[in-house]
Structure 1
Amino acid sequence: MRCLIGDDHPLMRQALAATVTGRWPAMIVEQAASFPEVWAAAAKAPEVCLVDLAMPGAEPVEGVARVREIAPETVILVVTGLTDPALLAKVRECGVTAILSKTFEAEELLAPIQAALGLPGGEETPSLTERQRDVLRLMGAGLTNKEIGLRLGIAPATVKIHVSRIITLMGAVNRTDAVFRAEKRGLVDRR
């Protein structure tokens, strides 16, 4: 299998490459530092592409959309430090599998790759506690931390801790993304 890593920071590329090959030593990893380099490498149809949004050569949405156009079968995982919800929503429309935050531990980035490619060594559905499921359900209903705390009889600060952990476990960049991912996996619905 082939993995393409696109990021304009060499240290980030190397860290992602080391993480991927640490889990799957047989994975062939190619690195690119700009969107044009990513596009050229995407023509080889890698199974997975980890791509940053803030790279030279194109605006984020254009850059990712072009990767999808060049490699329609490739699983695209965005790894970014950007958090603008409107931008991330447009990127998601490009057919990416997941949008992951650069603030996560490297190991936490592997679960979405495993799930998307059906690779061994991970589970698709994160293991949430019963309380986290309750908080997630209320997040899906659009409640604030304070409202969730009142509903569950816990302090807003405790809710904030649960929300943060849920975001991490879901591989999301924010609470909206966490709910979106949970809905896709059937963990929560908005009924």
Structure 2
Amino acid sequence: MIRVLLADDQILVRAGFRALLDAQPDISVAGEAADGHEALSLVRELRPDLVLMDIRMPELDGLAATRHITEDESLDGVKVVMLTTFELDEYVFEALRSGASGFLVKDTEPDELLRAVRAVVAGDALLSPSVTRRLIAEFAARSKEPADAALLAQLTDREREVMTLVGIGLSNEEIARRLVVSPLTAKTHVSRAMVKLGARDRAQLVVLAYESGLVRPGWLG
């Protein structure tokens, strides 16, 4: 059973998500929070698998709450997906840098929301690849604190190649076809790159690919 915490200051938004998620046989809503402080408290108490976190909330916003969660080693198993009203929200890229596993627009289709919840918990951190890729490229280009390119020296040539393909939005299966290897081999290369670079998940690997210059804004593969 996938346990989800809803964090949004709008009660109707939470009610809509709860009705959809609780109707699924493999998903349950573990709790609801109306602000970032309440979300943090409930995350520590309930240890959900996933938090659907609104970016803009009173008291403590979703961005700060996400940092608290992702920086707490005792909460390593908790994934965070940001909820935003607009696709190109100025805070979404910063949220991904802070450790969020992806983002969803609040008016996303129900089926897409359910797929996203299941995908993130399964480890496929990048959501809505075409939109997320454009957003990351947009804000990576504006980043004032580029990652240390020397980090990439830790990677093998194949791992750098795989990281580039992850950065342009390809799935493990697509990477496998591109490189003529098995999906398991592609997944292994992705996992090794994440471990070497200290990336929390696939979304952070994409961010690092852009920030280090391995992938440049506008590359679509």
Residues 35 and 56, structure 1, Cα contact 8 Å, conserved in 2:
yes
Q: CA deviation at 1:67?
A: 2.8
CA separation of 1:38 and 1:181: change in aligned 2, threshold 3 A: farther
- Structure-2 separation of matches of 1:15 and 1:172: 26
Q: Which consecutive aligned stretches of 4+ in structure 1 deviate over 3 angstroms post-superposition?
A: 82-86, 171-175, 177-182, 186-191
Q: CA deviation at 1:85?
A: 4.8
CA separation of 1:103 and 1:181: change in aligned 2, threshold 3 A: farther
Secondary structure in 2 matching 1:23: coil
- Structure-2 separation of matches of 1:87 and 1:63: 13
Secondary structure in 1 matching 2:31: strand
Root-mean-square deviation (Å): 3.1
Q: CA deviation at 1:175?
A: 6.2
- Structure-1 separation of matches of 2:83 and 2:130: 10
State which of 56, 60, 76 in structure 2 corresponds to 1:54: 56
- Structure-1 separation of matches of 2:18 and 2:37: 19
Q: CA deviation at 1:108?
A: 1.6
Q: TM-score, normalised by structure 1?
A: 0.62
State which of 67, 70, 73 in structure 2 corresponds to 1:68: 70
1:4 aligned residue? 5
- The amino acid across from 2:68 in the alignment is R
- Structure-1 separation of matches of 2:105 and 2:29: 23
- The amino acid across from 1:48 in the alignment is L
- The amino acid across from 2:23 in the alignment is G
Residues 55 and 91, structure 2, Cα contact 8 Å, conserved in 1:
no
CA separation of 1:7 and 1:93: change in aligned 2, threshold 3 A: same
Secondary structure in 2 matching 1:27: strand
- Structure-2 separation of matches of 1:2 and 1:113: 10
1:114-144 Cα offsets, whole Å, 9 max, x none, are: 112239xxxx6xxxxxxxxxxxxxxxxxxxx
Residues 7 and 14, structure 2, Cα contact 8 Å, conserved in 1:
yes
1:69-102 Cα offsets, whole Å, 9 max, x none, are: 3433211111111445542111111111111001
Pairing of 1:107-146 with structure 2 (within 5 A): 107-118=111-122
- What is the aligned-residue identity percentage? 20
